Amino acid sequence: MFVFLMAPILAIVPLSFSSGAYLTYPLPGFSLRWYEDFLNSPRWMLSLKNSAIIGVASAILSMVLGTLASLGLAQWKSKWKPLVLALVLSPMVVPVVITAVGVYFFFAPLGLTGNYLGLILAHTALATPFVVITVSATLQGFDMTLARAAASLGAPPIMTFRRVILPLILPGLASGALFAFATSFDEVVTVLFLAGPEQRTLPREMFSGIRENISPTITAVAVVLTVISIGLLTMIELLRRRNERLKGNAP
């Protein structure tokens, strides 16, 4: 772990017989030049922007679709409910490469390859199950009589959801949105099949760099992604504790 975290800031010694630079051991020193290279590179910045755009859009769509699915499944009493739930959660179980191939053959005739819309829809399908799981878990402790009471007092469905249901499921909803964003931000297999040159995401750029030109900038990007992941996990833990306090299970 120490080597992984420190590798991006190690100095690189250019070799006279090569046009590039290579890692040498023993390590000659420390440097932040590869973080600077990452921040000043139009190629890396474009991939970061693409990852942010696709991740945020996928998280929003997943949040909406996952919440609607969770609310419907929570109130649906049918023998087919386990089957439908398994279908909704199947993107978490099916290998990503199989999903990516299937999505490619489905999207290609529709002209949804090589553009942002296709990537956002594909990532939404992969991320929605995380929202369904977190929101469904929150709804387990929700008393549906509160919604029925609001309806009996004349509140329309939208107001009932906004004033009664949403405040109570918000921690689970936010946790699911963070999981959805992390899933999209880290996804590379679907991007390999669907993305065009202008939609290269950060993981896709790292994958290409490892295959074509090993650069210490990649490890600098890896540290940035690690920091982002730690931040997301911290936010999820804070939301989990807030949810427990709302349920009265924590002091």
Give the residue with greater pLDDT, 62 vs 186: 62
In a domain, residue 205? The reply is yes
Three-state secondary structure call for residue 127: helix
- Does some domain include residue 153? yes
Return the CATH number at 85: 1.10.3720.10
Whether residue 4 is contained in a domain is answered as no
Express each pLDDT in 1-48 by its tens digit: 434 444 444 434 333 333 445 556 565 667 788 888 888 888 888 998
Q: What is the overall mean pLDDT for the chain?
A: 80
Q: Is the residue at 3 inside a domain?
A: no
Does any domain span residue 8?
A: no
Tell me the percentage of the chain whose pLDDT exceeds 70: 84
Boundaries of domain holding 83: 13-247
Q: For residue 214, is it within any domain?
A: yes
Q: Residue 30: beta bridge partners?
A: 10
Locate 102 and state its tokens.
Answer: 């299937």
CA of 239: how far to CAs of 40, 74, 156, 172, 176, in Å? 35, 22, 29, 8, 10
Number of compact structural domains in the chain = 1
Q: Is 149 helix (H, G, I), strand (E, B) or coil?
A: helix
Per-residue pLDDT tens over the stretch 135-150: 888 888 777 788 888 8
Is 6 among the domain residues?
no
Per-residue model confidence as pLDDT tens digits over 182-241: 888 888 899 989 888 888 888 888 888 777 767 778 888 888 888 888 888 888 788 777
Give the residue with greater pLDDT, 246 vs 100.
100
Estimate the crossing angle of helix 166-186 against helix 116-139, to 10 degrees.
Answer: 140
> b/e map of 8-23 (b: 16 or more CB within 10 Å)?
bbbebeeeeeeeebee
7 lies in some domain: no
Q: What is the pLDDT of residue 4?
A: 41
The secondary structure of 185-227 as a DSSP string is HH--HHHHHH--GGG--HHHHHHHHHHH---HHHHHHHHHHHH
Taking residues 155-177, what's their average pLDDT?
Answer: 83
Average pLDDT over residues 106-110: 90
